[in-house]
Structure formats: C-alpha cells, structure tokens
Amino acid sequence: MRVLVLGGDGYLGWPTALHLSDAGDQVGIVDNFLRRGYDEEMGVQSLVPIEPLEVRTDVWHAVTGRRIETFVGDLVDAEFLLDVVRRFRPDTIVHFAEQRSAPYSMIDRAHAVHTQHNNVVGTLNLLYAIAEVDPQIHLVKLGTMGEYGTPNIDIEEGWLDIEHKGRRDRVLFPKRPGSFYHLSKVHDSHNIEFACRVWGLRATDLNQGVVYGQQTPQTERDPRLATRFDYDAVFGTVLNRFVIQAVLGEPLTVYGSGGQTRGIIDIQDTVECIRLAAETPAERGEFRVFNQLTESMSVEEMAKVVADTFPGPVEVHNVENPRVEADSHYYNVVFTGLPSLGLQPHLLSDTLISSLFPVVERHRDRVDRAALLPTVQWRRAESALRG
C-alpha cells in the first residue's frame, strides 16, 4: 500500500512509519515539528536523544534500502494538506498529527484554544482533502480511550445498541472526556463519523489506551532510529514516570488513592494495530471503531507491577491529585476487534524487564527530576471564576 503517516516525526508516528515500511508499504511522512517545539516551550526533552527527521529517514534508507518520503507543513494549512494528498495519492492515511497532552490543554485558555484549533481544524481539513482527492482513501485515526471517560457501564467499541420506550437504535457510545484535549478527540470522532455517513468516506477510529515502551524491532536496528521517551508531568505517561522514579531510587508518586483504572498497551502492539487496521480497511461509508488496549490496570496496580518487577527496593507515595476525576470507578472495556484481526499482545511485566528499565538506566543522567512534579491544576479556571 501507499501509506501517508501524519505526525510521522512523533513518539508513535515514527515507529509506525518504520513498521509499515518494513512490512513493504510505500510510506510518506507529514510533520510540522510542533512536538519538538513543545519541548522548547516547556523546557524539557525526551529522555532518549532523538535525531532530526532527515537523519532518521537517511539512516532507515541506509539500513534497509527503503525510502520514506517527507513533507513538512501544517494540517491547519488546508492548501498544503490538499497538495500533499494529491501528490502522494495514498491508499491509507494514518493520522497522529495532533497535540496529545491532556495537562498541556489544561494549562490556560491559550493552550486549550490551541489544542482544539490544531486538532479539530486539522482533522476537518483532512476530511475535506480525502473527499476531494479520493473518497476511497482509508483514514486510520488515533483516538483515545479518554474520550469515553469512566462510565458506570461496559465501554463498547464505539457504538451502543439501546432500547428506549419500546424502540431500538444504534448510537455512538456516550462520551464524557476529562480534559480539553480529550474533548478535541471527541469532536474529531463525531466529525469523522459524519463524513463517513454523509460523504461515504471510510475510517477506522482507534481509541487507544496509555502507551508504554520505547523500542520496536525497527527502532532497535540503529540508535539513530530511536523514538521519544517522555516522562515529564505534562507530556509523559504515568508508567514512564514510575519507571524513571524506580531507577533513580525515588518513591513512585501515585495521584490520589491510585484507584483510577486505565487501559494500557505496549508501543510494539500499537504499531501492529495500525498495520492490521490498514490492511483490513473499513467499508465505504463505515465509521469503524476499535478499542486499542491489551490490559486494564488501576494506577495503584501499575505502581505495584513496577515495584515488584524492579530489581531493588521501591517505595510508593500517594500525593494530591491535580486532576478532576473519580478516585475509583467501574471500568470494563470491550476490545475484540483487533484481537480478531490477529493481534498478539505483549505484557507490561515483560516489557519492563526487557526494555524500559535498561533504557532508563542508560540515560538516567538526562533526567530532570523537577519535570516529574505535577504543575498543571485542572481546577484553575474554576478558582479564577470564583475570584
């Protein structure tokens, strides 16, 4: 296939591009390097050094003989995006190109507006470009399990069959997101579903859990092919933070009681999910949704797995939760679509030993301990309104 990866310089976009190229697809990357700019803004850096995109693609070509075409520009620029889609003529477009941090979107008004404008407008421009160039193009969009929130019922895969006053219907699963970032993803999902229903586009929305891991078989071929490892309180994940703290001999900081439950997935499984979805496209006019996770754990359970797996003493400390979320809740996710396509999942305990602890140990001198501390408060706007 010809696959265009939007956001192909990012944490997930880069290893996805390599995974698809290694599988024999002709791959193109679109990126505006906004994620690298966030590092400069926030004064942080990836734990693992990452090379410029031009170096990465040159190394990949040298190692494998396969070329990856690159396009530098912004999805918010509709004419640029339309021109790229016309020139590359993809069979599939994989869409990662969004501001992905919930804390970043909650810093203040400007960051909330930036997040929603960047994410929602960019996706709208993409839908129009697909409709104009070739409605047969299959859109694979990275959503998030955070769109659903934590409902007190099982989370179905995108759709819900309901009966009300003697009548039945099939509707999109109700969404109750927990940040302006997650709200932008909900807007995306509704816009994509509308385009499929009204224009006859085809799309797969992958509602993904928290991703952990930093290595794939492709990135391991040369150190210059490495992808990001974010651990700071704005762009990092809870698991990355725990691993850093364990290696440094610091207590694992659990927000609240740690009863918040999340779906999680290894980065190796993320890139394979993308391949599986791309190779078995949705039907024309179909808005297909897969919940993309392999395990569900509470934050407290994640801390316990890290502590039990690490070869040394580890303490766990509970700290005040800066977010507005239930301290504990019901959480049961249906995820059958991707396993039915052949996904063979990795497990957290295995990846910690084989990859995460060694990666952090090699780069421990690059850790900024201050960056681990939460600085963004969800209730800031509410406090300001109260005066």
Q: pLDDT tens digits for 21-51?
A: 999 999 999 999 999 999 999 999 999 999 9
Sign of CA dihedral 291, 91, 281, 168: positive
Question: Which percentage of the chain shows pLDDT scores above 70?
Answer: 98
pLDDT, one tens digit per residue, over 82-100 is 999 999 999 999 999 999 9
Residue 186 pLDDT > 80 = yes
Residue 316 has pLDDT above 90, yes or no: yes
Q: Please report which confidence band the pLDDT of residue 330 belongs to, taking 50, 70 and 90 as the band edges.
A: very high
Q: List all residues 6 or more positions away from 268 whose beta carbon is below 8 Å from its beta carbon.
A: 213, 215, 216, 217, 346, 351
Domains of the chain: 2-386 (3.40.50.720)
% of the chain at pLDDT higher than 90 = 96
What pLDDT is attached to residue 40?
Answer: 97
- Asked if residue 74 lies in contact with residue 32, where contact means CB atoms within 8 angstroms, the answer is yes
| Whether the Cβ atoms of residue 236 and residue 35 lie closer than 8 Å to each other | no
Q: Are 51 and 219 in contact (CB under 8 A)?
A: no
Q: Round to whole Å and give the CA distance between 338 and 343.
A: 6
Non-local CB neighbours of 163 within 8 Å, separated by 6+ positions: none
Residue whose C-alpha is closest to residue 174's, from 184, 161, 163, 164 = 161
Radius of gyration of the chain (CA): 20
Give me the chain's average pLDDT, please: 96
pLDDT of residue 381: 52
Cβ proximity of 154 and 217 under 8 Å:
no
d(CA 214, CA 108) in angstroms, rounded, equals: 30
d(C-alpha 334, C-alpha 277), whole Å: 17
Helix (H) or strand (E) segment spanning residue 318: strand 316-319
Q: What angle do CA 9, 30, 105 make, to 5 degrees?
A: 65
* 113 Cβ contact partners less than 8 Å away, ≥ 6 residues apart: none
- Which helix (H) or strand (E) segment holds residue 124: the answer is helix 122-133
Token pair recorded at residue 286 = 């179909």
- Assign 379 a pLDDT band (cuts: 50, 70, 90): confident
Query: What local confidence, expressed as pLDDT, does residue 167 receive?
Result: 98
> What percent helix, strand, coil does the chain show, rounded to 5?
45, 20, 35
160 φ, ψ (degrees, to nearest 5): -140, 125
For the full predicted model, state whether its pTM sits above 0.75.
yes
Dist. CA 215–CA 47, nearest whole Å:
13
Q: Show which residues are catalytic.
A: 144, 181, 185
3-state secondary structure of 19: helix
Over 50: is that where the pLDDT of 145 sits?
A: yes
172-193 residues labelled b (16+ CB within 10 A) or e (exposed): ebebebbbbbbbbbbbbbeebb
- Local structure of 252: helix, strand or coil: strand
What pLDDT is attached to residue 8?
98
> What local confidence, expressed as pLDDT, does residue 383 receive?
47
What is the pLDDT at residue 380? 66
Query: Which residue type sits at 54?
Result: E
pLDDT at 385: 45
Structure-token pair, residue 198: 């009204």
pLDDT tens figures, 48-78: 999 999 999 999 999 999 999 999 999 999 9
Alpha-carbon torsion angle 326, 239, 51, 120, nearest 10: -20
